Amino acid sequence: MAILTIEDKTYICQADETVLDALLRENVNIPYACKKGTCHSCIVQSPSTLPPEAAQAGLKNTQKKQRYFLACQCHPEQDMAIKLPDQSEFYTDGTVVANKMLNRNTLLLIIAFKDAFEFNAGQFVNLQRPDGLTRSYSIANTPQESNTLEFHIRRLPGGKFSEWLHDELKVGDIISVSEARGHCFYLPERSGQGLLLIGTGTGLAPLAGILTDALAQGHSGPIYLFHGSREVEDLYRIDEMRQLTQQHQNFHYIPCISGKHVPEGFNRGRVNDVALALLTDLKGWRVFLCGHPDMVNQMKIQTFLKGAASTDIYADAFLATPV
């Protein structure tokens, strides 16, 4: 028998029951379908206790690390505090310590916190304006760098939130930030594996975090970063990336321009086409995709068809910032 806690309520899980059985018996509203660990409908999180191994079978490794588990496969080994997927988020106030332009339309925003902010490079948070308007943005730095979060914010014409960040938010202002979420991040395992990072526009943000993290953790396999946009003026961090290729032999940076004018040193074409032409066999590779939803959806399939296992293809559920 174990005690299950959800927010401020407790439930008893009897010896022969799974967590799902117990919650359904108690009329807790939890999604489920197959009850056999296949459909993943009943995925929940246990932030403070390690779930039983059997309850994490079949999940992505990044989900396992965040202690997600399948309620239908979980016979608790101890009392558990459980977070349901739709449970309300916890926000922390941060202070803007830097805002400057990375290129003609992309803002670098750095927010500092009093205490360490828990996240994995590549995850995203929700930023909230005082009036409650909320948008998701990917984190561009790694947790090793002091108590700050870095964001790359593209100005969207008519985008209420991005215009506010660009035009009104000043150094010293306070902004609310949610807990970090998402499964698109690097785990230091299979360090000889090839890593393929493909991003368009500010899709570079999470990829830059993942790249820094992988290099810092001594990833030894080849790492390819393809960053694309229509015009060269919309790329950024070009010199930094080129410098990194000097420092790390296994890192390859391929900036791509899909528009007409392609300066020397840049590849002509869309990132997806350039990447697939260069890397023809992705069997055993780990893939990270961020940016334009069409590119991401198409590349999930293309990299899968080129041999990457579906569990090795990471892209965040949120893809574009809504206006």
Residues 6+ apart with CB under 8 A from 297: none
CA distance 78 to 4: 9
CA distance 11 to 69: 18
In the complex with another protein, the residue whose CB is nearer, 128 or 303, is 303
> Nearest approach, Cβ of 195 to another protein (angstroms)?
19
Q: Which of 121, 173, 160, 159 is nearest to 142 (CA)?
A: 121
DSSP codes joined into one string, 215-278: HHTT--S-EEEEEEESSGGG---HHHHHHHHHH-TTEEEEEEE-SS---TTSEES-HHHHHHHH
> Nearest approach, Cβ of 38 to another protein (angstroms)?
5
**122 close to 204: Cβ distance less than 8 angstroms:** no
In the complex with another protein, the residue whose CB is nearer, 301 or 323, is 301
In the complex with another protein, the residue whose CB is nearer, 52 or 94, is 52
> Nearest approach, Cβ of 40 to another protein (angstroms)?
7
In the complex with another protein, the residue whose CB is nearer, 11 or 304, is 304
Q: Is 124 helix (H, G, I), strand (E, B) or coil?
A: strand
H-run or E-run covering 138 = strand 134-138
**197 close to 224: Cβ distance less than 8 angstroms:** yes
> Nearest approach, Cβ of 35 to another protein (angstroms)?
6
> Nearest approach, Cβ of 137 to another protein (angstroms)?
22
H-run or E-run covering 30 = none
Q: Which of 39, 57, 38, 46 is nearest to 19 (CA)?
A: 46
In the complex with another protein, the residue whose CB is nearer, 91 or 304, is 304
> Nearest approach, Cβ of 161 to another protein (angstroms)?
25
The DSSP bridge partners found for residue 127 are 135, 177
In the complex with another protein, the residue whose CB is nearer, 143 or 203, is 203
Binding site for another protein (CB under 8 A): 33-40, 57-58, 297-298, 300-301, 304-305, 309-310, 313
In the complex with another protein, the residue whose CB is nearer, 37 or 221, is 37
> Nearest approach, Cβ of 167 to another protein (angstroms)?
35
Distances (CA, A) of 159 to 101, 111, 162: 17, 21, 6
